[in-house]
Structure 1
Amino acid sequence: MTMPVMEPQLDATTLRSWAHVIDGGPFSSLCWGERIAFDNPDSLTLLGALAAWTDRVRLVTTVVVPQLHDPVMLAKGLATGDLLSGGRLTVGIGVGGRHEDYHAVGADPASQTRRGMAERVAVMKRVWAGEKVTESVLPVGPSPVQTGGPPLQIGSIGPKTIRDAAAWADGVAGTTLDLDLTRQAELFDVARTAWAEAGKPKPHLATSFWFALGKPEEARAQVHRHLRRYMNWIPAEYVDAMAPMTGWAGTEEQLIEVLGKFEDIGTDEVHLIPTSSDIDQLRRVAEVAKVFA
């Protein structure tokens, strides 16, 4: 389950309440995304809070963009989150889709590449391995609880990016806009093949999609409102055109059916993305998740 970090007018009480319900089960992971030129919480600050607010659930960044950070400081922040959570952190990594976020932090948009991402991951792995990245007296710490650092997942829907990531990632944390199962199965096959060719264990395969529970018209309108706000870098008329086919809206019974289809193609996890901060939506999805626990 993804936190409602892209919803308006959030406060600490709402975020803490969501974290407690998610941690109460039966969800396997608690996720949150990163944006800069938006009013969502800072990812690493939120990681510290979530580590304190939860005890059981795995914490997953979906995704953090390393090119928007100094890689040594990012490695230190994530290692601290792994320490505070007792080794419950998984780090989703991606190149990001918005130049405005790069400009906001003074990052070079030319680094918005697979190579730029991999170079920063390599630095982070060195930090987590306890190597000195400068001539300092001591290496950059703290040491992560998980040996070698948190597991890494590539956040992408591009086959080339997924193939490249087999060199450093432990799995895939992708997304599907239109819930195309055939396309998703093909990407999972790309990952399985790439990991096998790299001589690595089979990858953890996750995907995500927006959701809204309720009567069809009301639920679809909720998704539409969310997309209008979240996709603010895209002209509104384009968002309006794609909204009827983007994400999922319907009843609990229909969601169980959809999740079952993703399970059938070998999906290890679906990271559901809320389109409202209404905690009733979360509690209703928790009942759905019990079917797959």
Structure 2
Amino acid sequence: MKIGLGLPIDDPALLLTWARRADAGPFSSLGLLDRLVFANPEPLVTLAALAGATSRIRLQTEVLIAPLHNTAMLAKQTATLDRMSGGRFTLGIGVGGREDDCLAAGIDIRRRGRRLNEQMTALRRTWAGEPYGEGAGPIGPAPATPGGPEVLFGGFTPAAIERVGRFGDGFLGAALPPEYMAPLFRDAEAVWEKYDRPGRPRLVAQANVALGPPSTVDRARHNIRDYYDFGGRADHVAAGVLTTARQIREAVEAFAGIGAEEVMLYCWSSDPAQPDRLADALF
């Protein structure tokens, strides 16, 4: 079982410390979320900085809200990040759901799903070295990964799951316990077979964690409430944070039992001792 770390967003200046500690330890990936109308660091810029500070660990958006981005520029940025990291980049991608993000980006929230489908067709074509479109030639650089970086789709709707089979390499399931995640994993596998894709989709789960003294746990819950305030579920999500080594181990085992290849432990407090505590708890 691979264990990744979801990076905290409350103190961007500490992320280089987090990345170096994770890279020197047993962790498989570093994940970073995306918002526009919020105080989080921009994920592609940040992961590019972390790529230069690490040598082994994978770098992952979790998830990038693609409809907010210009498609041609997104193709160039993601190919560059994959190239600069030596093929260590995973593009976790989704549609988002915050109206303020869409307003700030100047897109219609009602069309974000259709826009993502159009974007994925253009991204795959561009990463393959084909002309971007009529009157526009290829957009480089070529990614280090043939055909483009690994793509994992996040989301809970049938349309999100369908994209796994049409465009993706796997499914990223976030913010649900294993018993509720299992049906989504099975749906992703069914869609994979529907599109006659070889092998099987990569299945990745995410759990919210805060391991440390009460100040670390309290800070994590505060940050979660702040982030999820828009949807009316902030207190519920904050209450579900895993705060003991035993809880985290049991969750990892349960996700492994439903077929997860990797579990991302999302840390909502920037306490830089957490990577070492999590390594001690799990490895």
TM-score, normalised to structure 2, is 0.91
Which residue matches 2:83? 83
CA–CA separation in structure 2 for the residues paired with 1:137 and 1:34: 29
Tell me, yes or no, if structure 1 residue 248 matches structure 2 residue 246.
Answer: no
CA distance in 2: counterparts of 1:160 and 1:107, whole angstroms = 19
Opposite residue 74 of structure 1, the aligned amino acid is: L
Q: Report if aligned partners of 1:87, 1:146 keep a CA contact under 8 Å in 2.
A: yes
Q: How big is each residue's C-alpha offset from its partner over 1:58-113, in whole Å with a ceiling of 9 and x where there is no partner? A: 11111111211111100100000001000111101100021111111212222222
Paired residue for 1:131? Answer: 130
Aligned to 1:195: 192
Higher RCO (C-alpha under 8 Å, 6+ residues apart) = 2
Q: Which amino acid aligns with 1:248?
A: L
Who is 1:258 aligned against? 251
Give deviations 1:184-242, integer Å, cap 9, x for gaps: 11111111111112111200001112111247x7776444312222123245xx533x2
* Aligned mates of 2:224, 2:25 — CA distance in 1: 27
- Aligned identity (percent) is 37
- Residues 158/17 of structure 1: CA separation in 2 closer, same or farther (3 Å cut): same
Q: Does the 8 A contact of 1:159 with 1:187 survive in 2?
A: no
> 2:174 — aligned with what?
175
Q: 1:195 to 1:53 in 2, by over 3 A?
A: same
The answer to whether the 8 Å contact 1:51/1:84 transfers is yes
SS at match of 1:30: strand
Q: In the superposition, relative to structure 1, how do residues 252 and 197 fare at CA in structure 2: closer, same or farther (>3 Å)? A: same
User: Which 10-residue stretch deviates more, 190-199 or 145-154?
Assistant: 190-199
Q: TM-score, normalised by structure 1?
A: 0.88
Q: Which residue of 1 aligns with 2:230?
A: 233
User: Structure 1 residues 160, 106: closer, same or farther in 2, change over 3 A?
Assistant: closer
Partner of residue 31, structure 2: 31
Determine the C-alpha separation between the residues in 1 that align with 2:151 and 2:30.
15
AA aligned to 1:64 is L
Judge conservation of contact 1:2–1:271 (CA < 8 Å) in 2.
Answer: yes
Does the 8 A contact of 2:152 with 2:172 survive in 1? Answer: yes
- Aligned residues of 2:226 and 2:234 also touching (Cα < 8 A): no
Amino acid at match of 1:172: F
Contact 1:26 1:289 in 2 (8 A): no
Rounded to whole Å, the distance in 1 between the matches of 2:171 and 2:70 is 23
CA RMSD of aligned residues (A): 2.0
Q: Which letter maps to 2:170?
A: G
Partner of 1:209: 207
Aligned pairs, number: 278
Find the aligned partners of 1:96 and 1:137 in 2 and give their Cα distance: 29
CA distance in 2, matches of 1:244, 1:140: 42
Q: CA deviation at 1:164?
A: 3.7
Closer, same or farther: CA 4–218 of 1 in aligned 2, 3 Å? closer
Unaligned runs of at least 5 residues, structure 2: none
Relative distance call for 1:87 and 1:139 in structure 2 (3 A) is same
Secondary structure of the 1:248 match is: coil
For 1:166 and 1:137, the matched residues in 2 are separated by: 28
Q: Are residues 1:56 and 2:56 paired?
A: yes
SS in 1 for 2:273: helix
In 2, Cα distance between the equivalents of 1:159 and 1:137? 34
Aligned to 1:142: 141
Taking the aligned partners of 1:156 and 1:39, their CA distance within structure 2 comes to: 22
